[in-house]
């Protein structure tokens, strides 16, 4: 290969990034469901003919390794032709979990395939025993919904109507799901057009050569950044509340070995394969590992297959991170969050002052269902809410946002209330939820939604009730998550983090409270004026200001009592930093 000039690398690389972003915008503006249209639980990407990632939109990081795995599977399985579109969601053939439906379209120039456009979207429902296809107590993949092996939805530009009909017949809300699939197809058509523009400029062979150079360039940059970290083996462990069936913690054990710009992530010691749907298939484990490693390097490095080349993964067989089919895995996202967070904890041991407080490591997610008032038309809602990020030496953690593996939005109140017979009654930060520290962990959120009409089902699929975010370098842990069902008659059911198909009736309220992030550094050396600002903003209570931060406020709570604060902190002392 001839040496590529840096201008071409940047111009073509940014054209590809612009393309996948435009593809993502297309999905969001044409999708029917709130989960894709408003929450952006979708991803668009481009691949070379071998399934190597060329570019991926800034959507859901958990889809990066999964789409790559599926693209390679599609490339091996089919002899693709112009106009073909492949659809799939099979979790043991490159997919993630049942609601994530992928579509792929090959891109040809002068009769030769030069790329493949792809889109993945989380769909409101794909069947199974629980509305939303999120049963937290499923025993195998067959309880979790419709399985779509890789098959051609379009053959040389002609729709295979039987495939659409088969999918439509197996889901609760076909209008929205089929509309969302068509939105995905619109996105890959955009990707095809934009890649063909590059082919007209550089030629098919020329573009292939440039893409190979882009991948090599990203690999060099990743290896350079990883080389700056000290060689060695760094261990960490994390836990999930349960597997949805047995009320026992699920262990994620991680050993990160750094060696001259390469990294090996070994999961030996993780829990055996679990009975509930929180196992994690290969494609999802890859995504979690790649995402966590990417957080350790320069975010400006172009995201492509070259970023993955320095990474090796060791998976113990028949474990929670390497299950054997047909083990259930629809809840694998929560496992991915715990995997990524645990890898970051391992990297903390190599990063010194650049260590970070843990993030909330979960989604407080739930599904609800029912029928629209005065009709027999069913509706299904799936909603996800984020929590706090950890503090760093540069500042406080981000409040109430998604974790390492997601990059979604909360559903706007107006969009939720327009689409469903529901009303959002509370939507706020949770005081004191962020872990205390010199730099505080980000806050979790509280979102309470009232069910307005009829009767339906509610499923809670959350985490971090037992294992909230930990702090670092003297920082303290966050508050845990908690969820409840508040009945119209005034009674309250405190819920475990995982429970399926509770009956919900008009007047009942779903209450979701998410965990905050862990703190960074000794909270008793936090600037008193920052503590005061947090109290005035309602982020920290006056009691926590005194007890956790050693900051005393004057009687009306508007100023710091400097002398009393100095005396209290001298009495409390400070914790030693790692």
Helix (H), strand (E), coil (C) string for 493-557: EEECCEEEEEEEECCCEEEEECCCCCCECCHHHCCHHHHHHHHHHCCCCHHHHHHCCCCCECCCC
Q: Which residue has the tokens 């379009």?
A: 154
In angstroms, what CA-CA distances link 425 with 89, 370, 408? Answer: 35, 19, 22
Query: First-to-last CA distance in the chain?
Result: 48
pLDDT tens column, 199-257: 999 999 999 999 999 999 999 999 999 999 999 999 999 999 999 999 999 999 999 99
In angstroms, what CA-CA distances link 137 with 148, 276, 482, 499, 560? Answer: 21, 5, 19, 7, 51
CA dihedral (128, 129, 131, 133) in degrees, to 10, reads: -40
**311: closest CA among 355, 258, 347?**
258
* Alpha carbons within 13 A on the beta-carbon side of 79: 0
**127: closest CA among 167, 181, 184?**
167
pLDDT of residue 578: 37
Q: Residue 45 and residue 65: Cα distance in Å, rounded?
A: 11
Q: Residue 3 and residue 178: Cα distance in Å, rounded?
A: 46
**Whether this model's pTM surpasses 0.75:** yes
Number of other CB atoms surrounding residue 426 within 10 Å: 14
Q: Which residue has the tokens 């054990």?
A: 253
Are the C-beta atoms of 22 and 234 separated by less than 8 Å? no
Are the C-beta atoms of 533 and 549 separated by less than 8 Å? no
Q: Which residues of 445-476 are buried (b: 16+ CB within 10 A; e: fewer)?
A: bbbbbbbebeebbbbbbbbbbebbbbbbbbbb
Q: Which two tokens stand for residue 533?
A: 């600002």
pLDDT tens column, 413-469: 999 999 999 999 999 999 999 999 999 999 999 999 999 999 999 999 999 999 999
CA dihedral (424, 59, 90, 66) in degrees, to 10, reads: -140
Residue 213, H or E segment: helix 204-227
Q: Residue 379 and residue 456: Cα distance in Å, rounded?
A: 9
User: What percent of the chain is predicted at pLDDT more than 90?
Assistant: 91
Helix (H/G/I), strand (E/B), else coil: 162: helix
Per DSSP bridges, beta strands 262-266 and 311-314 are parallel
Are the C-beta atoms of 66 and 284 separated by less than 8 Å? yes
Are the C-beta atoms of 67 and 44 separated by less than 8 Å? no
Positions in the chain short of pLDDT 50: 1, 575-578
Are the C-beta atoms of 259 and 231 separated by less than 8 Å? yes
Are the C-beta atoms of 435 and 477 separated by less than 8 Å? yes
pLDDT of residue 249: 97
Q: Residue 49 and residue 46: Cα distance in Å, rounded?
A: 10
Number of other CB atoms surrounding residue 503 within 10 Å: 10
pLDDT of residue 64: 72
Residue 283, H or E segment: helix 282-294
Q: Residue 545 and residue 549: Cα distance in Å, rounded?
A: 5
Helix (H/G/I), strand (E/B), else coil: 116: strand
Q: Residue 403 and residue 289: Cα distance in Å, rounded?
A: 14
Q: Residue 576 and residue 533: Cα distance in Å, rounded?
A: 25
pLDDT of residue 574: 54
pLDDT of residue 2: 56
The backbone torsions φ and ψ at residue 83, rounded to the nearest 5 degrees and listed phi first, read 90, -10
Domain chopping of the chain, boundaries: 6-220, 355-521, 528-572
**For residue 487, with 0-12 CB atoms within 10 Å meaning exposed, 13-18 middle and 19 or more buried, which class applies?**
middle
């Amino acid at each position: 290969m001839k040496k590529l000039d840096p201008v071409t690398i940047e111009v073509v690389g940014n054209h590809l990034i612009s393309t996948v972003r435009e593809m993502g915008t297309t999905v969001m503006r044409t999708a029917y469901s709130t989960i894709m249209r408003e929450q952006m639980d979708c991803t668009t990407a481009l691949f070379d003919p071998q399934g190597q990632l060329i570019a991926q939109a800034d959507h859901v990081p958990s889809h990066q390794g999964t789409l790559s795995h599926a693209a390679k599977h599609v490339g091996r399985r089919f002899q693709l032709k112009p106009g073909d579109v492949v659809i799939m969601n099979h979790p043991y053939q490159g997919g993630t979990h049942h609601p994530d439906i992928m579509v792929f379209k090959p891109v040809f120039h002068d009769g030769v395939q030069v790329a493949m456009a792809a889109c993945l979207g989380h769909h409101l429902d794909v069947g199974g025993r629980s509305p939303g296809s999120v049963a937290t107590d499923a025993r195998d993949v067959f309880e979790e919904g419709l399985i779509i092996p890789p098959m051609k939805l379009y053959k040389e530009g002609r729709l295979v109507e039987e495939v659409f009909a088969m999918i439509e017949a197996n889901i609760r809300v076909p209008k929205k799901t089929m509309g969302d699939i068509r939105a995905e197809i619109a996105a890959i058509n955009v990707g095809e057009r934009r890649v063909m523009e590059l082919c007209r400029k550089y030629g098919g062979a020329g573009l292939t050569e440039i893409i190979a150079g882009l991948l090599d360039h990203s690999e060099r940059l990743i290896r350079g950044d990883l080389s700056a970290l000290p060689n060695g083996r760094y261990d960490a462990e994390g836990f999930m509340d349960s597997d949805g069936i047995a009320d026992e913690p699920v262990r994620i054990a991680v050993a990160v070995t750094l060696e001259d710009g390469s990294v090996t992530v070994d999961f030996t010691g993780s829990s055996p394969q679990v009975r509930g749907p929180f196992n994690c298939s290969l494609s999802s484990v890859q995504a979690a590992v790649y995402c966590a490693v990417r957080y350790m390097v320069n975010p400006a490095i172009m995201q492509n297959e070259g970023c993955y080349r320095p990474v090796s993964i060791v998976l113990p067989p028949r474990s929670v991170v390497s299950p054997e089919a047909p083990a259930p895995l629809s809840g694998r996202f929560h496992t991915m969050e715990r995997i990524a967070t645990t890898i970051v904890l391992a990297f903390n041991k190599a990063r010194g002052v650049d260590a970070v407080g843990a993030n909330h490591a979960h989604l407080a997610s739930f599904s609800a269902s029912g029928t629209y008032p005065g009709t027999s038309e069913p509706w299904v809602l799936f909603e996800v809410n984020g929590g706090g990020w950890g503090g760093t030496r540069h500042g406080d953690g981000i409040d109430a946002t998604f974790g390492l593996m997601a990059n979604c939005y909360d559903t706007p109140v107006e969009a939720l209330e327009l689409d469903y017979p529901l009303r959002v009654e509370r939507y706020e930060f949770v005081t004191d939820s962020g872990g205390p520290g010199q730099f505080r962990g980000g806050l979790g959120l509280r979102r309470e939604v009232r069910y307005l009409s009829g009767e339906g089902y509610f499923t809670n699929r959350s985490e971090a009730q037992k294992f909230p975010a930990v702090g670092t370098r003297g920082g303290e842990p966050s508050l845990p998550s908690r969820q409840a069902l508040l009945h119209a008659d005034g009674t309250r059911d405190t819920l475990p983090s995982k429970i399926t198909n509770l009956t919900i009736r008009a007047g009942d309220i779903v209450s979701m409270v998410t965990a905050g992030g862990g703190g960074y550094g000794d909270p008793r050396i936090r600037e008193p004026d920052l503590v005061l600002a947090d109290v005035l903003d309602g982020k920290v209570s006056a009691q926590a200001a005194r007890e956790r931060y050693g900051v005393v406020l004057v009687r009306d709570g508007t100023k710091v009592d400097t002398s009393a604060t100095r005396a209290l902190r001298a009495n409390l002392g400070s914790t030693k930093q790692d």
